[in-house]
Amino acid sequence: MTKTNSDISTGALFRNQVIRTILMSVFFLQIGIWVRNYSILLYVIEKTNENPVAVSLISVAEFAPIFLFSFIGGTFADRWPPKRTMIWCDLLSALSIFVVLLTLMLGSWKVIFFATLVSSVLSQFSQPSGMKLFKLHVKEELIQLGMSMYQTIFAVFMILGPIIGTFVYQHYGIGAAIAIMGIAFLLSAATLIFLPPDRESEENKEKTTLMQEMKAGFSYVRNSRALTLLGGCFAAAGLAIGLTQPLSVFLITERLGLPKEQLQWLMAAFGAGMILGGGLTMGLAKKTPPQFLLALGMTVSATGFLVMGLSEQLWLTLTAQFISGLFMPCIHIGINTMILQNTEASFIGRVNGILNPMFMGTMVITMSTSGWLKERLSLLAIYESAALLFIVGVLAIVPLFKRSPAALKKSEEI
């Protein structure tokens, strides 16, 4: 008797202990992270009378570790047992947060930046370990569906997270907010105890230095056609998103002639699209190859950016933003699935550590120049350029459309 796709997917997905455990851990972590992000933001704004330098330091503490520790964290994630690594990262995050709470009670508020910095650094070790567990314990046919559920949680918290973080701070203050962060990390660590035990064979048997393993990681990506092409796609997407992200408010004020406060509806439309898109992509993920999901998401994003640049009607701009959000999960799920399918378990951390900074780095480059470009080019020209970059990203992975992950792996071994 043959099983249907839905029998294989949905039932087996929820029976998989690793997927259940990681999704529950991510749920607790998202509560902690969003309470952290918004409570600390509001607290610093209040303490510094809206000092822009102090506010910008929050983003530095959140994103700088991605550049400084992503590859190092990924390398250690490949060396260390994944379950133990994730539990220790959550415990150390909770400990650092309670130290911050104690210091706040003693009167030094500036240590608040430490909470964001430490948890951001530790996430560079924990996140690739979670990906490694997916690779080790989840069947190939369930990986993409599991990634769909993983991404749906992030999409839901893009809407609920700011509401939760703001509510906690406004009603209970920074002390309670920090306590909730610490408890959330502890609950995540407690959940991870239910993961299968680390296998002894997962630990490196050969004695190699950290530098040797780093070099091996770069060689692995360079010698993998699939990962190299995916890196080009990453770079194009990062350039496109960075080019437009700081300029969204000008769609409201210049193209539509509305007050800047209306930007909230643009963000709400995108977030609502992501939540709905996460659920719809779960259905697509059962029978659609990840490279097609990625190409679909980027093509729709290109169209959405073009329409937003051209639109002079609020309803059309909101519709384009909603549709872009609807297909954004296709991009995230396609990328993560392709990384897992085309990477050996022993290299998962290093591959993540190379590709993620590539996306962030290109995004920061265009974010830092978007204001300068805005003074010299029209908003339409900038959004058209972003759409073109998304198409370049699609073209980068076209060679992967005709070949399965298994075929790609086989060709790389020859």
Please give the pLDDT value at position 154. Answer: 83
Same fold? 9-198, 210-413: yes
383 contacts 309 by C-beta, under 8 angstroms: yes
383 contacts 307 by C-beta, under 8 angstroms: no
CA distance 106 to 175: 12
CA distance 40 to 261: 22
Residue 19's contacts (CB-CB under 8 Å, 6 or more residues apart) are: 13, 134, 138, 142, 146, 149
Please give the pLDDT value at position 3. Answer: 47
CA angle 114, 88, 40 (to 5 degrees): 25
Please give the pLDDT value at position 69. Answer: 86
Q: What is the pTM of this model?
A: 0.80
Please give the pLDDT value at position 404. Answer: 53
Per-residue pLDDT of the chain (414 residues; tens, 9 = 90+): 344 444 445 667 778 888 899 999 999 999 999 998 888 888 888 888 877 677 767 777 777 787 788 888 899 989 899 999 999 999 999 998 888 888 877 767 777 778 888 888 999 899 899 888 888 888 877 888 888 888 788 878 877 888 898 899 989 998 899 899 999 999 999 999 999 988 764 444 557 787 888 899 999 999 999 999 999 998 999 899 888 887 888 898 889 998 877 777 887 888 888 888 887 887 777 778 899 999 999 999 999 999 999 999 999 999 999 999 999 888 888 888 899 889 998 899 999 888 888 888 888 788 878 888 888 889 999 999 999 999 999 999 999 887 554 444 544 444
CA angle 395, 396, 400 (to 5 degrees): 95
Q: Superfamily assignment of 9-198 in CATH?
A: MFS general substrate transporter like domains (1.20.1250.20)
Q: Domain segments of the chain: what residues?
A: 9-198, 210-413
Helices 140-192 and 263-285 meet at what angle, rounded to 10?
Answer: 120
Distance of CA 54 to the CA centre of its chain: 25
Q: Superfamily assignment of 210-413 in CATH?
A: MFS general substrate transporter like domains (1.20.1250.20)
